[in-house]
Amino acid sequence: MSSLPSQRIVIVGGVAAGASAATRARRIDPHAEITILEKGPAVSFANCGLPYHLGGEIADRNKLLVATPELFWNRFRIRVRTHEEVIAIDRESKSLMVRDRSDPSTTLTQVGYDKLILAMGAEPVLPPFAQQPSSNVFQLWTLPDMDGILDWIKRSKPRRALVVGAGFVGLEVVEQLHGIGIEVDLVERSATILNRLDPIFANMACNALRQESIFPINAQSVLEFIKEGDRVTAAVLSNGQTIPTDLVILGVGVRPRTKLAQQAGLAIGDAGGVVVNEFMQTSDPSIYAAGDLIEYTHQITQMKTLNPLAGPANRAGRIAGEHAASGKSQPMGGVLGTSIVRIFETTVGMTGLNEKYLDQHKMPYRTAIVQATNHASYFPGATNMQLKVLYEAPSGRILGAQGVGGEGVDKRIDVLATAMTLGGTVYDLARIDLAYAPPYGSAKDPIHMIAFTAINDLQGHPRLLPPSADLEGYQVVDVRTAKERSELPLPGAVAIPIDEMPEGFSKLDPKLPTVVVCHSGKRAHIGACRLQASGFTQVFNLTGGMSVRSQIPST
């Protein structure tokens, strides 16, 4: 009795989603004929590690090669064809037209499929001012991009570089170039670096650059390059400023590679990505898509969104591979955009929604901010962090979170992302049983402290005001020490150091709305509770205190 023919699963693209899809499909179906078509020279490489090889932090280039074609074949019997570009999909015949990029003179070949998985990812945006090729202008997206930058640095020994775009890649490149002795200018067209951060936290993150004498030029765009021959020597900004440079690296964002899908008639969503269902099937059930070219469902809003991050791409690829191989899998679920970046000695993390999105979509929210240490403050090496949570009232459902500081920011952002994925509230955060020993955390972890602070706000013990609140019309009580007040003045406030309460209450009018302020919000909470107990009915705590309010960016 003859066996049924093996199904043919073809994956277009490798790296995160494609490689995950292929290996998962193999584990599910040991008999399938699985082929990866990759137009580049490497099928699976650590895209996120590229900036760190520029500065030598990852010294060995081979460490960036996650898996080779030989490994795919020897271990998984997955055939990898590099330098093979798919130029068309014929859905009716279930076949692909493929061009050999290593030899353009060869004729096109046809590759048939039973199930097709598109994993071409995203491509970096090339802005208008950089449309003409220049020998010293680069993007950093692939291994050849990285090799080109390193070759230029080796040959030309640039003294000064211009990085355009202050997103994750741009900031990582700034850090690495600075580390090898190149003076770096950073230009960002948004008002702040990392524009997914709320402005105050973005300014905190920016301090990490300023400490290294790097002063980002925000709210400015590059209008044009000044060139000598094929080499850029300077950039002209929208404010008229001219910045000389020996090297330019562009990091102005990415867009999904949807051209192939569009030409095949697959549905493209309003966010600009390929439309997929919860199992990564496109509008053609035989064709799947995964990774940076698709639209994900946002965990909080349930709206479709682009989310060009490696973690979700790997998970989406795994689901696509399993469903293509077996017809079933767990659903993808939502994404939160959880992300993190190191800026020299500072860690910056975020997840979920920010104030800008919530304001634009008229979604009511509350905010709480705490300053805490990554582990017990009395144990050597404790570092500070600022942690912010945005949440609904009165439910306490967590909508977003941000953190800036030293060690331990990643842990807290991951805990918050986990809680949000499970639909958690700040009340749930307060109940989480976290590991504690002095080298690792505190008995009251920053997660617990931010939860307690938010719960106090929701229950009116007391309510919180955001750090950027207009204090006009409030009776402002400053409970800091005289030294603290001199370092960060708060004009118009009534000074009553916390240890002089309640004796100093005679200076206050209990009928006025009153906000209590200290350095971080901890002493202000004590002072506000005392005022409430003394008959003051409209009492607020300025969340984050003056240490956060002082970070409001100047306009």
Question: 461 exposed, middle or buried (CB, 10 Å; 0-12, 13-18, 19+)?
Answer: middle
| Confidence check: pLDDT of 93 > 70 | yes
pLDDT of residue 104: 78
Q: What is the mean pLDDT of residues 434-448?
A: 96
| Confidence check: pLDDT of 422 > 70 | yes
Helix spans in 236-384 (H): 259-263, 310-326, 355-360
Residue where a domain stops, chosen among 200, 224, 252: 252
pLDDT confidence tier of residue 1, bands split at 50, 70 and 90: very low
Q: How far apart are CA 507 and CA 527, in angstroms?
A: 14
Q: How far apart are CA 26 and CA 77, in angstroms?
A: 8
Do 117 and 260 have their domain in common? yes
Do 283 and 381 have their domain in common? no
| Confidence check: pLDDT of 4 > 60 | no
Do 102 and 24 have their domain in common? yes
pLDDT of residue 504: 83
Does residue 173 sit within a domain? yes
Residue where a domain stops, chosen among 223, 252, 281: 252
Give the model confidence (pLDDT) of 160-212 as tens digits: 999 999 999 999 999 999 999 999 999 999 999 999 999 999 999 999 999 99
Question: 7 exposed, middle or buried (CB, 10 Å; 0-12, 13-18, 19+)?
Answer: middle
Q: How far apart are CA 336 and CA 352, in angstroms?
A: 5
Domain hosting residue 396, numbered range: 345-459
| 8-state DSSP, 257 | -
Comparing CA positions, the residue from 88, 83, 72 lying closest to residue 34 is 72
Does residue 340 sit within a domain? no
| Confidence check: pLDDT of 296 > 90 | yes
Q: What is the mean pLDDT of residues 267-292?
A: 98
Q: How far apart are CA 294 and CA 272, in angstroms?
A: 8
pLDDT confidence tier of residue 248, bands split at 50, 70 and 90: very high
Q: What is the mean pLDDT of residues 254-261?
A: 97
pLDDT confidence tier of residue 2, bands split at 50, 70 and 90: very low
**Residue with tokens 């100047």, as numbered in its chain:** 554
Give the model confidence (pLDDT) of 116-151 as tens digits: 999 999 999 999 999 999 999 999 999 999 999 999
Do 490 and 415 have their domain in common? no
Residue where a domain stops, chosen among 395, 425, 459: 459
Do 160 and 223 have their domain in common? yes
From first CA to last CA, the distance across the chain in angstroms is: 78
Are the beta carbons of 232 and 134 closer than 8 angstroms? yes
Average pLDDT over the chain reads 96
Are the beta carbons of 272 and 257 closer than 8 angstroms? no
Do 438 and 494 have their domain in common? no
Do 173 and 247 have their domain in common? yes
Percent of the chain surpassing pLDDT 70:
99
- Catalytically active residues are 48
SS3 state of residue 335: strand
SS3 state of residue 31: coil
pLDDT confidence tier of residue 554, bands split at 50, 70 and 90: confident
Do 443 and 512 have their domain in common? no
Total structural domains within the chain = 4
Question: Can you give the CATH number for the domain in which 547 is found?
Answer: 3.40.250.10
Do 509 and 521 have their domain in common? yes
Do 167 and 309 have their domain in common? no
Percent of the chain surpassing pLDDT 90:
95
Are the beta carbons of 310 and 48 closer than 8 angstroms? yes
Q: What is the mean pLDDT of residues 54-74?
A: 94
Q: How far is CA 412 from the centre of its chain?
A: 15
pLDDT of residue 3: 54
Q: What is the mean pLDDT of residues 503-515?
A: 92
Q: What is the mean pLDDT of residues 242-261?
A: 97
